[in-house]
Amino acid sequence: MAAGRHPLVPRGAVPGCQHRAGRAGVHRHHSGPSATHGASRARCIAQVFEPVRAAVKAGQCSRAILVGHNPSFDLGFVNAAVARTSIKRNPFHPFSTFDTATLAGLAYGQTVLSRAARAAGLEWDERDAHSAIYDAEMTAHLFCRIVNLWGAPRPAG
**pLDDT for res 86:** 86
**pLDDT for res 33:** 43
Query: How many other CB atoms are there within 10 angstroms of residue 140's CB atom?
Result: 20
**pLDDT for res 72:** 92
Q: Which of 128, 150, 114 is nearest to 18 (CA)?
A: 150
Q: How far is CA 11 from CA 38, 54, 62, 82, in A?
A: 30, 9, 13, 23
**pLDDT for res 134:** 93
Strand blocks (E) in 81-127 = 92-99
Structural domains of the chain sorted by starting position, each given as residue range(s) with its CATH number in brackets: 35-150 (3.30.420.10)
| Widest CA span in the chain | 52
The C-alpha angle 83, 84, 85, rounded to 5 degrees, equals 95
**3-class secondary structure, 68:** strand
pTM higher than the cut 0.85: no
Q: Which residues of the chain have pLDDT under 50?
A: 1-20, 22-38
Rounded Cα distance, 136 and 144, in Å = 12
pLDDT tens for each residue of 103-138: 999 999 999 999 999 999 999 999 999 888 999 999
Residues 120 and 107: beta-carbon distance below 8 Å: yes
Half-sphere exposure of 41 (CA within 13 A, CB side): 10
Active-site amino acid positions: 130
